[in-house]
């Protein structure tokens, strides 16, 4: 089975046994592609999961059309898939993401001589609208991080989590994989392994330092069960906090603070970036801190900042 092979073995099997044994098994070819993304492209696991999810939908569509080999597909079929996605009432951004996954997949098939031409090369994808991210105001951040919200030992842990999110702009996957040795408490810095296994050093402020110190001194020693456990943030069973657990606690404290906006861990990342730029931070520095490979991703926060200024103006100016 292709699932049990690495990408080299998988592709070698394809070449030795031909299309008949591999290409009629669409899912196995997909696994070869995902192995390629992981082992040769070094993409993050969450990105690979997204590709899998999107391409399984495409394969299901092909099966409904009685397609058993990617060599049987054509441009008309891919266009029909676009129409099919539109019929699912998906947002245009979601449709575009699905089609990008299909395009990447066909490039891989052509590169490995598994198809004779890339039928997606001339297909125009829908334009993606860049939505401005939701951010919290300074007042809302203060409500969220109010010490009165955090009770008991798990409350102190949660306070450290939220303070660190806002202070550093970490992604959820980056925070849950932090190790104790990644912290430099003396210099208020942490080491983070981000997308594409790129390492970056991020500073954090005094509030995050204080909450982390309380957590490390008073809480974590009581949570840890295995003396060899080096993960920074633990749950009540002494295990690494899960993504779901992080999302739950952020939502919980947003409700406690009576913030009406939808608040997720990524909201705190957006908020940090916007607040830094509003207060004069250099765009390149913010890019480095957030781990953006392209500065255009960081630039969207300048638009958020301008939007906020405009809203404040029209709210406060008496003759607006």
At 66, which CATH number? 1.10.150
In the residue annotation, 266 being an active-site residue is answered as: yes
Q: How confident is the model at residue 284 (pLDDT cuts 50, 70, 90)?
A: confident
In the residue annotation, 195 being an active-site residue is answered as: yes
| Residue 188, domain member (yes or no) | yes
Number of structural domains, the chain? 2
Considering the domain architecture, whether residues 203 and 87 belong to the same structural domain is answered as no
| Residue 118, domain member (yes or no) | no
| Residue 211, domain member (yes or no) | yes
Considering the domain architecture, whether residues 295 and 165 belong to the same structural domain is answered as yes
| Residue 305, domain member (yes or no) | yes
| Mean pLDDT of all residues in 269-281 | 81
Considering the domain architecture, whether residues 155 and 303 belong to the same structural domain is answered as yes
The reported pLDDT for the residue numbered 38 is 84
**In the 3-class helix/strand/coil scheme, how is the chain assigned residue by residue?**
CHHHCCHHHHHHHHHHHHHHHHCCCHHHHHHHHHHHHHHCCCCCHHHHHHHHHHHHHHHHHHHHCCCCCHHHCCHHHHHHHHHHHHCCCCCHHHHHHHHHHHHHHHHHHHHCCCCCCCCCCCCCCCCCCCCCCCCCCHHHHHHHCCHHHCCHHHHHHHHHHHHHHHHHCCCHHHHHCCEHHHEECCCCEEEEECHHHCEEEEECCHHHHHHHHHHHHHHHHHHCCCCCCCECCECCCCCECCHHHHHHHHHHHHHHCCCCCCCCHHHHHHHHHHHHHHCCCCHHHHHHHHCCCCHHHHHHHHHHHHHHHHHHHHHHCCCC
Higher pLDDT, 115 or 309: 115
Considering the domain architecture, whether residues 162 and 298 belong to the same structural domain is answered as yes
In the residue annotation, 200 being an active-site residue is answered as: no
Considering the domain architecture, whether residues 287 and 170 belong to the same structural domain is answered as yes
Considering the domain architecture, whether residues 98 and 239 belong to the same structural domain is answered as no
Q: How confident is the model at residue 125 (pLDDT cuts 50, 70, 90)?
A: low
| Residue 116, domain member (yes or no) | no
> Pick the catalytic residue: 171, 220, 270, 275?
171
Percent of the chain with pLDDT over 90: 35
Considering the domain architecture, whether residues 79 and 188 belong to the same structural domain is answered as no
Instruction: Tell me what the pLDDT averaged over the chain comes to.
Output: 81
In the residue annotation, 258 being an active-site residue is answered as: no
> Pick the catalytic residue: 195, 207, 256, 303?
195
In the residue annotation, 107 being an active-site residue is answered as: no
| Residue 72, domain member (yes or no) | yes
Domain of 205? 138-316
Considering the domain architecture, whether residues 62 and 172 belong to the same structural domain is answered as no
The reported pLDDT for the residue numbered 149 is 92
In the residue annotation, 130 being an active-site residue is answered as: no
The reported pLDDT for the residue numbered 271 is 87
Considering the domain architecture, whether residues 80 and 194 belong to the same structural domain is answered as no
CATH code (residue 258): 1.10.443.10
Higher pLDDT, 90 or 3: 90
Considering the domain architecture, whether residues 48 and 158 belong to the same structural domain is answered as no
> Pick the catalytic residue: 157, 220, 275, 292?
292
* 199-220: pLDDT as tens digits: 888 888 899 999 999 999 999 9
Q: How confident is the model at residue 311 (pLDDT cuts 50, 70, 90)?
A: low
pTM of the model: 0.61
Considering the domain architecture, whether residues 146 and 286 belong to the same structural domain is answered as yes
| Residue 130, domain member (yes or no) | no
| Residue 119, domain member (yes or no) | no
Considering the domain architecture, whether residues 186 and 271 belong to the same structural domain is answered as yes
Name the domain boundary from 93, 111, 129. 111
């Amino acid at each position: 089975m292709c699932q049990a092979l690495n990408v080299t073995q998988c592709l070698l099997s394809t070449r030795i046994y031909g299309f008949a044994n591999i290409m009629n098994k669409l899912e196995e070819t997909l696994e070869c592609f995902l192995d390629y993304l992981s082992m040769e492209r070094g993409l993050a696991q969450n990105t690979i999961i997204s590709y899998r999810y999107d391409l399984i939908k495409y394969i299901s569509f092909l099966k409904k059309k009685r397609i058993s080999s990617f060599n049987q597909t054509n441009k008309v079929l891919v266009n029909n898939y676009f129409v099919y996605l539109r019929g699912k009432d998906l947002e245009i951004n979601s449709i575009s993401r699905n089609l990008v996954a299909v395009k990447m997949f066909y490039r891989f098939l052509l590169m490995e001589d598994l198809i004779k031409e890339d039928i997606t090369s001339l297909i125009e994808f829908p334009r993606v609208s860049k939505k401005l991210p939701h951010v919290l105001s300074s007042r809302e951040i203060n409500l969220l991080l109010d010490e009165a919200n955090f009770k008991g030992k798990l409350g102190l842990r949660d306070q450290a989590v939220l303070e660190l999110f806002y202070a550093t702009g970490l992604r959820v996957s980056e925070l849950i994989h932090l190790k104790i040795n990644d912290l430099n408490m003396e210099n208020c810095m942490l080491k983070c392994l981000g997308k594409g296994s790129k390492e970056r050093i991020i500073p954090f402020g005094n509030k995050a330092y204080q909450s982390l110190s309380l957590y490390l001194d008073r809480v974590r020693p009581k949570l840890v069960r295995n003396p060899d456990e080096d993960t920074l943030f633990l749950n009540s069973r002494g295990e690494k906090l899960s993504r779901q657990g992080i999302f739950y606690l952020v939502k919980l404290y947003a409700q406690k603070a009576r913030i009406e906006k939808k608040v997720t861990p990524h909201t705190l990342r957006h908020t940090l970036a916007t607040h830094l730029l509003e207060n004069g931070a250099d765009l390149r520095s913010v890019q480095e801190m957030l781990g953006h490979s392209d500065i255009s991703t960081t630039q969207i926060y300048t638009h958020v900042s301008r939007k906020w200024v405009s809203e404040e103006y029209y709210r406060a100016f008496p003759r607006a």
